[in-house]
Amino acid sequence: MIIELFCKEQLILVYFIQSILHKIIKMAYSLLRIRKVSPFRISRVLQDLVWLCCVVFLYDKASLWRFHLEPECAQFLRLGVFTRNYGKILGSSNYDFTGSEPSSSFDFTDLTCPHTWYPIARRKKRKVILHVGPTNSGKTYNALKQLERSSSGMCPRRGSMLLNHFLNCLRFFFFCYLKGVYCGPLRLLAWEVAKRLNKANVPCDLITGQEKELVEGANHKAVTVEMADVTSVYDCAIIDEIQASLMVGCKQRGFSFTRALLGIAANELHLCGDPAVVPLVEDILKVTGDDVEVLTYERLSPLVPLKVPVRSVSDIKTGDCLVTFSRKDIYRHKNTIEKAGKHLCSVVYGSLPPETRTAQATRFNDATNDFDVLVASDAIGMGLNLNISRIIFSTLEKFDGTETRDLTVSEIKQIAGIAGRFRSQFPVGEVTCLHKEDLPLLHSSLKSPSPIIERAGLFPTYDLLSRYSQAHPKLGLYKILEHFVENAKLSSNYFISNVEDMMKAAALVDELPLKLQDKYLFVVSPVDINDEISGRGFAQFAQNYSKTRVVKLREILSDDTVKVPRTPTELKELESIHKVLDLYVWLSLRLEDSFPDREVAASQKSICNVLIEQFLEANRLISHIPFSSKKLRSRRKF
């Protein structure tokens, strides 16, 4: 205990504070029991009280409950600590404070006040600056300039765990801040920002779900939005491409952005995105008391919609990007263009590993390279800086996983706007289609404003799911998720994110003898549950973990040699194997002792990237590379 490090006088002070805290907690509990005080008036006091407890007891939860509170009184404080939803819980007449477990009558599906889940952010009056404008307008560039200039004052982070806990506690009360954090929707964006800041002599850590690269002396972080830390205090924070996930159409990412928007405790919070998000963000932030400022940007280079389509492959020229929406069509168009003999094609689509997408983009951008045409899906819309002269839509329809539909105005503008990057070799961007009948929709979409985004994605925290599970111990995670989805009470600003894939994963792990916390971890992991190989790998990881608590990579993947794929089908299998390895790395960062082969998995991911690049370059000089994991053993079916 840190208390042992205190001198006698300091110990007296600590014991004095303990006694005061004891009395305050008992008094608050008594007043609320007899309804003498408004629960919402006392909620902010309790927020400060909880964090003061953390300072005095240094996050030692066992010690926190050691001053002999009555069971129901201790339960009252515990509930506040775990849920971070003081106002809602204290205001409920349904909660039974006399028992050791939450009452089944308490309405855990009431999600109407998600801003109360983040007490650290609510203790601050944030200045929120919206940078809005079209693609290639410099909005993110200007926000990053503010991040670079953010003030100093971060407490040291490295050293003993005990010291770090102590410093983290002091940060909340002595106004010591992390300098800044960048939150992006993709690893590619986090990589780019970390690289940019480090190059500008602003040391920056890189933290994504699959990697953690710490830079000596770094006071900044570049993270994927799921990794945003809502327990730290920042001087400056950026949430990029916020419109991409604050939409009903976003299946699993929306609630991560909403969590970051409501939960990041920063003096200045910069939001970058489309003007369509402004009314929603302003409405959401009315209840938080934050100051909101809107900065509007215009496109820095012209974008010209052409009046004629590209009629044949012979019209393809250097710097063109042909956009299509299926893997099959990407390789069909690539082969057609290359057979004409004038151009070689780089390709970019969503299921390619991020490292491969970056390599393909770099090769296309290199003016000295023969790969001067890009064939891509809408994956080019974010995360890649591309020197494109002309965007050519092969179609304005896409299959979204449920149905084939027309592209939305926002999707068309996002993709078209990539052409003519500011200060690139193509100062004027052009956009057209392969088919004449698509031109009217293209032109009308480019002239139209993006539809206003009306609601943001939301999902209950693990704390709420855990409390609900305690009240209904016979229910598995699948049923708990189903109940929240079907019965959640929401304000008009929110919708429950589509968690269909999470529920499929929950149905698998519910059959295993795992704790709820472990099940939840597997369910929120980045698994493509609809991919056969990836889904099988997920099931085997969970099964082996439930049996032995140690998952060796060689128990899942067999020893063999993988040849360079010769067909798109073989390439797809290799991409799926890469997803399995990526999942293993993700789990190993959270269950380090149980998934000990992280370095092996990372090495094999790199080999997969080499093999995929080998296929895309159509280079057959190297026919095979040693690889210790070819495919999942089919006999190990879940």
Say what the pLDDT of residue 40 is: 44
Question: Which uninterrupted H or E stretch holds 8?
Answer: helix 8-33
Nearest to 365 by CA among 392, 389, 343: 389
Say what the pLDDT of residue 598 is: 93
Is residue 137 predicted with pLDDT exceeding 70?
yes
Mean pLDDT score, 338-359: 91
Report the amino acid identity of residue 67: F
- In this structure, the answer to whether residues 86 and 124 fall within a common structural domain is no
For the chain, what is the mean pLDDT? Answer: 80
pLDDT band at 439 (very low <50, low <70, confident <90, very high): very high
Looking at 270, 296, 322, the residue that finishes a domain is: 296
Number of domains in the chain: 4
Is residue 285 predicted with pLDDT exceeding 90?
yes
- In this structure, the answer to whether residues 430 and 543 fall within a common structural domain is no
- In this structure, the answer to whether residues 536 and 407 fall within a common structural domain is no
- In this structure, the answer to whether residues 137 and 275 fall within a common structural domain is yes
Mean pLDDT score, 217-244: 91
Size (the chain), residues: 638
pLDDT band at 58 (very low <50, low <70, confident <90, very high): very low
Mean pLDDT score, 3-14: 46
Say what the pLDDT of residue 14 is: 52
- In this structure, the answer to whether residues 132 and 203 fall within a common structural domain is yes
Beta-sheet pairing, 404-406 with 429-433: unpaired
Does 423 map to a domain? yes
Is residue 454 predicted with pLDDT exceeding 80?
yes
CA dihedral sign, ordered 191, 582, 364, 625: positive
Domain that holds residue 339: 303-447
- In this structure, the answer to whether residues 385 and 260 fall within a common structural domain is no
Q: Phi and psi for 171 in degrees, rounded to 5?
A: -60, -35
Does 473 map to a domain? no
Among the residue ranges 37-51, 85-99, 281-295, 350-364, the one predicted with the least confidence is 85-99
Does 207 map to a domain? yes
- In this structure, the answer to whether residues 318 and 177 fall within a common structural domain is no
- In this structure, the answer to whether residues 277 and 349 fall within a common structural domain is no
Say what the pLDDT of residue 396 is: 95
Mean pLDDT score, 403-428: 91
Question: pLDDT over 70 for what percent of the chain?
Answer: 73
Does 44 map to a domain? yes
CATH code (residue 311): 3.40.50.300
Does 577 map to a domain? yes
Is residue 24 predicted with pLDDT exceeding 70?
no
CA dihedral sign, ordered 153, 157, 163, 164: positive
- In this structure, the answer to whether residues 183 and 288 fall within a common structural domain is yes
- In this structure, the answer to whether residues 145 and 211 fall within a common structural domain is yes
Instruction: Give dist(CA 269, CA 215) in Å, integer.
Output: 23
Instruction: Give dist(CA 429, CA 448) in Å, integer.
Output: 18
CA dihedral sign, ordered 515, 520, 526, 528: positive
Per the CB < 8 A criterion, the answer to whether 600 and 581 are in contact is no
> What would the pLDDT profile of 231-242 be if each residue is shown by its tens digit?
889 999 999 988
Taking phi over 0 as left and psi of -120 to 50 as alpha, with beta for the rest, 199 belongs to alpha
Instruction: Give dist(CA 232, CA 214) in Å, integer.
Output: 17
User: Using N-to-C axis directions, what is the helix angle for 187-199 and 354-365, rounded to 10°?
Assistant: 60
Top-confidence residue, 43 or 213: 213
Among the residue ranges 95-104, 124-133, 228-237, the one predicted with the least confidence is 95-104
Top-confidence residue, 96 or 605: 605
- In this structure, the answer to whether residues 275 and 126 fall within a common structural domain is yes
Mean pLDDT score, 212-225: 92
CA dihedral sign, ordered 485, 490, 492, 495: negative
Is residue 502 predicted with pLDDT exceeding 70?
yes
Looking at 415, 447, 479, the residue that finishes a domain is: 447
Say what the pLDDT of residue 422 is: 87
Question: pLDDT over 90 for what percent of the chain?
Answer: 51
Say what the pLDDT of residue 568 is: 84
Say what the pLDDT of residue 369 is: 86
Top-confidence residue, 27 or 593: 593
Tokens of 164: 């770090």
Is residue 624 predicted with pLDDT exceeding 90?
no
Top-confidence residue, 292 or 54: 292
Does 114 map to a domain? no
- In this structure, the answer to whether residues 308 and 283 fall within a common structural domain is no
pLDDT band at 400 (very low <50, low <70, confident <90, very high): confident
Say what the pLDDT of residue 262 is: 95
How far from chain centre, in Å, is Cα 471?
A: 30
Does 163 map to a domain? yes
Say what the pLDDT of residue 157 is: 39
Say what the pLDDT of residue 560 is: 62
Beta bridge partners of 392: 322, 432
Tokens of 488: 């959640």
Alpha helices in 366-476 (DSSP H): 409-416, 439-447, 462-471
Looking at 447, 466, 484, the residue that finishes a domain is: 447
Among the residue ranges 340-354, 472-486, 563-577, the one predicted with the least confidence is 563-577
Does 475 map to a domain? no
